[in-house]
Structure 1
Amino acid sequence: MLKQYRIRDYDFKLVLLVISLTVIGIFAVGSAKESMQKTQIAGFILGLFLMLVLSLFDYSVLLKLNWLFYIGNFVLLALVAVMGETKNGAQRWIELFGIEFQPSETAKILLILFYAQFIMKHKERLNTFKNIGICCILILPPLAFIFKQPNLSTTIVLAVVFCVIMFVGGLHWKIVSSVLAVIVPVFVITLTIILQPDQSLIRGYQQTRILAWLHPEEYATTEAYQQLNSIMAIGSGQLEGKGYKTNVISSVKNGNFISEPQTDFIFAVIGEEFGFVGTCTVIILVILITLECLLVARRAKDLAGSIIAAGMAGLIGFQGFLNIGVTTGLLPNTGVTLPFVSYGLTSLLSLYIGIGFVLNVGLQCKSKY
């Protein structure tokens, strides 16, 4: 499983970018909720170790376990539905062998690995009705389990990552355009239905979040409260921010105007304390990590490597866009974490494991760009 690699082929740039973003996250978490900073640091150290170890294992060998990844993921998500722990009205966590974690986060990585091998094995016949149908059928159970938790944001992220995987896997442009021709009107119709008072497609609180996004002034003291305060916090930071762990009385964070600022709204804390400079730094790092993964995907020795790297690029890029879009009011409140920055050990470790695979893909690339 271990191979001989050249040190000069190791993607130290990607490692540095990921570490830089994580360190910013550790500082931000420490300011948002100091009691969680040590746990985040421990997660960073463990994640870094797992990333380095996995980067030296031949991904081609590990991908032979792809069906084990899929079945294991299915079992974990099913256990959440049966015996998962409920927090804040959502059943997303499970405890096994004394360790509590969130299988919907590990699902993102496990499914990328599963499809990388599955699509490469059937790449010559991917554009047949049979294989496209199989790929779609296999993604439905994880999406259904995660949606029922309820966890709409992760369902959306996973669906987007699946689309990226299929496109990189070689899905024909004619099929892509045909699907888009169907999806766009269906999306418009679905959104119209969702906005109706008696709709049953999504839960009531999810509908209220969309309405609060469309009409924030009508929900200023309820559902739009956090987003409006988040925008206020980011704007109040101006160019350089109010300073790390600011004790300014008017601070949105200190006034507890944002619940759980260490997770979904960590970007607001960064904006308030580090200003425009801090938020731009985070955005640039997310973009650079995404682009670096895409560059690795272009140079991969095989299709499986391309899918792994592109899948991680899609995951990090889209989830980052979703989180920042929510905190700045560009998107409805979906409750998704900011990759490598928000507090959450399962999310952090899963991302580092994914980057470990990307690094190994990079070590076996055909040639340098």
Structure 2
Amino acid sequence: MFKQYSIRNYHFRLVCYVLALSVIGILVIGSAKASVQKTQIVGLFLGLIVMAVVSLVDYSFILRFSWLFYFLNLVLLALVEVMGSDANGATRWVSIAGLRFQPSELSKIIIIIFFAYFFMKYQETLNTIKILAASFILVGIPLVLVVTQPDLSTTIVTALIFVSLLFIAGLSYKIVLGVLAVSVPSAIIFLSLILQPGQKILNDYQYRRIMAWLNPKAYADDAYQQQNSIMAIGSGRLWGKGLNNNDIASVKNGNFISEPQTDFIFAVAGEELGFVGAALIVILLFLIVIECILIARKAKDLSGRLIACGMASLIGFQGFVNICVVTGLMPNTGLPLPFVSYGLTSLTTLYIGIGLVLNVGLQPKKY
């Protein structure tokens, strides 16, 4: 069950990158909203403890409970529908024994764990209709529960993680090409339908976010946050205005970005740390993804590779989407920036995932 811990170069580098990004997050969040900085610090220390514990427990032992985790995930997501609390029009949080958390965030890591086990077990028959159909049904149930909260952004990222796991597990290129041949025109048709006035596919707020991105002048109220975010990043120039500054021309200080400590934290980093600071955050995210992939190559089995690559997908996709949103390259999604944005559930999820990746690295492939 437990493995002897021995520090290797890739362990050390990965932990250093995560710590560096977490510290930057604490500093930037303290500047964005000082009252939540202590919570972020507590989240860091609790996360490090969880990460250390998870890294010491053999991931093969953890995978034995994959079905239990899967059904627990469904129960938590279902509880959101029954007793979830509302915030800004979305019901995504649930309170149990005084602890308020977001099950859809935990769902990401649970899906990685479950399908690392599932695809490992059925790797020889992965490309059969039976196994592919079963895998899509198994991922579809939690995704439906997440999208009804509504949380379209988390649904999309989780779906991308699943697709990445499926591909890494050995999905046939013939199937990939066939899916692309169908999905590309389907995506075009879907986009044309949701852009029609009076469409019923997306919720009203989701439709307005897309239209605000495409035509910010016509949807000025909905484009307000994103446009101010772009302005904030541009005003930071090379070195930024400095953390906790009193600049009266600051977009953040003027409260032109609502809840800047959440999914728009990159705007604060761009304004106060400048291009250099923003680039450092992007580089650290990139290095964490690369380390996860390098560790995946050393994994002793397919399940280890899937865990490490799954975390690389989670951090890579979520970081990419968040930065694209804040810089105006994508519509607003509400996704937090990995290790930087405020949110104890998302932080815990990430530290658990990194602990699992370290665990995979402790048991390298035998040649």
Q: What range describes the TM-score normalised by the shorter chain of this pair? A: over 0.9
Aligned counterparts of 1:6 and 1:90: Cα–Cα separation in 2? 44
SS at match of 1:264: coil
2:166 equivalent in structure 1: 166
Cα displacement (A) at 1:98: 1.3
| Matched AA of 1:53 | V
Aligned counterparts of 1:43 and 1:218: Cα–Cα separation in 2? 40
Correspondences of 1:193-208 after superposition (within 5 Å):
193-208=193-208
Contact 2:10/2:291 (CA < 8 Å) preserved in 1? no
SS at match of 2:8: helix
- Indicate yes or no: 2:319 matched with 1:320: yes
Aligned counterparts of 2:240 and 2:343: Cα–Cα separation in 1? 25
Cα displacement (A) at 1:204: 1.0
Aligned counterparts of 2:229 and 2:204: Cα–Cα separation in 1? 23
Aligned counterparts of 1:264 and 1:113: Cα–Cα separation in 2? 26
Aligned counterparts of 2:257 and 2:180: Cα–Cα separation in 1? 37
- Indicate yes or no: 2:302 matched with 1:303: yes
Correspondences of 1:15-54 after superposition (within 5 Å):
15-54=15-54
Cα displacement (A) at 1:271: 0.3
Cα displacement (A) at 1:219: 2.0
SS at match of 1:200: coil
Contact 1:3/1:56 (CA < 8 Å) preserved in 2? yes
2:133 equivalent in structure 1: 133
Cα displacement (A) at 1:9: 6.5
| TM-score, with length taken from structure 2 | 0.98
Q: Identity across aligned pairs (percent)?
A: 61
1:230 equivalent in structure 2: 229
- Indicate yes or no: 2:255 matched with 1:256: yes
Contact 1:50/1:353 (CA < 8 Å) preserved in 2? yes
| Matched AA of 2:309 | A
Aligned counterparts of 1:208 and 1:178: Cα–Cα separation in 2? 33
Contact 1:300/1:306 (CA < 8 Å) preserved in 2? yes
CA deviation map 1:59-112 (0-9, x unaligned): 001100000010000000000011101111110000111111000000000110
| TM-score, with length taken from structure 1 | 0.98
Contact 1:51/1:353 (CA < 8 Å) preserved in 2? yes
- Indicate yes or no: 2:359 matched with 1:357: no
Aligned counterparts of 1:10 and 1:218: Cα–Cα separation in 2? 50
Taking a change above 3 Å as real, the CA distance of residues 240 and 10 of structure 1, as seen in their structure-2 partners, is: closer
Aligned counterparts of 2:293 and 2:248: Cα–Cα separation in 1? 44
1:65 equivalent in structure 2: 65
1:216 equivalent in structure 2: 216
CA deviation map 1:249-288 (0-9, x unaligned): 1111011111110011000000000000010000001111
Contact 2:119/2:169 (CA < 8 Å) preserved in 1? yes
Aligned counterparts of 1:217 and 1:291: Cα–Cα separation in 2? 39
Aligned counterparts of 2:86 and 2:315: Cα–Cα separation in 1? 26
- Unaligned 5+ segments in structure 2 are none
Contact 2:43/2:347 (CA < 8 Å) preserved in 1? yes
Cα displacement (A) at 1:365: 1.2
Aligned counterparts of 1:83 and 1:5: Cα–Cα separation in 2? 41
Aligned counterparts of 1:310 and 1:351: Cα–Cα separation in 2? 13
Correspondences of 1:52-91 after superposition (within 5 Å):
52-91=52-91
Aligned counterparts of 2:366 and 2:315: Cα–Cα separation in 1? 25
Aligned counterparts of 1:291 and 1:307: Cα–Cα separation in 2? 14
2:116 equivalent in structure 1: 116
Cα displacement (A) at 1:6: 3.2
Contact 1:9/1:362 (CA < 8 Å) preserved in 2? no
Cα displacement (A) at 1:8: 3.4
1:282 equivalent in structure 2: 281
SS at match of 1:231: helix
- Unaligned 5+ segments in structure 1 are none
Bigger drift between 177-186 and 120-129 goes to 177-186
